[in-house]
Amino acid sequence: MNFSNICNRVFQEATLMYHKTDDVNAQPVNPYKNGGIEFLLFSKNWIDAVQWHLEDIIRDPKIDPTEALTIKRRIDKSNQERTDLVEFIDGYFMDKFKDVKVLPGAGLNTETPAWAVDRLSILALKIYHMEQETLRPDATAQHLESCKQKHQILLTQREDLSRAIDELLADIEAGKKYMKLYKQMKMYNDPTLNPVLYKK
């Protein structure tokens, strides 16, 4: 089975499980063994699902400013967890391909496999929510048709991205491409690097 198939299956499972409660405070019940790649993928999509809905909530024009700030802080924390998990998944790939002999002239991709997988996880959520829009009983026919067209585009995008991920992994495994793991080095969350924090 291609790696993208595993990703898409796990992402769909996580997305559907989240929406059983549709609660940003619900605790995930990861059905996979801790330490395995499927466990990581499920955790990744759950973080994305929660953050998706936090982003919706904070855009309520009537939201209490104090609550909005609390949610903004939570989104910042979620972004850091998401980044850490992507880098952890890349660590999985680095270990998997550590013995591959890189061929002369091998290329470096513009993004690591896990950052492409990150986009695939977000796509799973886009597809789910766009499909929900096609089913709204209160929406106009024009809205429903527009969302159906967008949904089809998203499905095509998932096919293309899935193929690209599998091709990248195959090229890395064959030594035609290689990967480097660059930490994101986010500065705004680091009290030693954010001047607003360290000047205090």
Q: In the prediction, which pLDDT does 186 show?
A: 72
CA nearest to 177, candidates 99, 86, 108: 108
pLDDT one-digit tens code per residue, 82-116:
999 999 999 999 999 999 999 999 999 999 999 99
Q: In the prediction, which pLDDT does 181 show?
A: 84
At 6, the pLDDT band (50, 70, 90 cuts) reads very high
pLDDT one-digit tens code per residue, 143-190:
999 999 999 999 999 999 999 999 999 999 999 999 998 877 777 777
Q: Cα 4 from chain centroid?
A: 13
Mean pLDDT of 19-48: 96
Six-digit token pair at 156? 């095509």
How far is Cα 93 from Cα 108, in angstroms, rounded to an integer? 14
DSSP 8-state class, residue 198 = H
pTM > 0.85: yes or no: yes
At 196, the pLDDT band (50, 70, 90 cuts) reads confident
Six-digit token pair at 101? 């002999």
Q: In the prediction, which pLDDT does 134 show?
A: 97
CA nearest to 117, candidates 12, 198, 9, 41: 41
DSSP secondary structure, 90-158, as one string: HHHHHHHTTTPPPPTT-EE-SS-HHHHHHHHHHHHHHHHHHHHHTT-TTS-HHHHHHHHHHHHHHHHHH
pLDDT one-digit tens code per residue, 117-153:
999 999 999 999 999 999 999 999 999 999 999 999 9
Q: Number of C-alpha atoms within 13 angstroms, CB side, residue 168?
A: 21
Six-digit token pair at 122? 């977000």
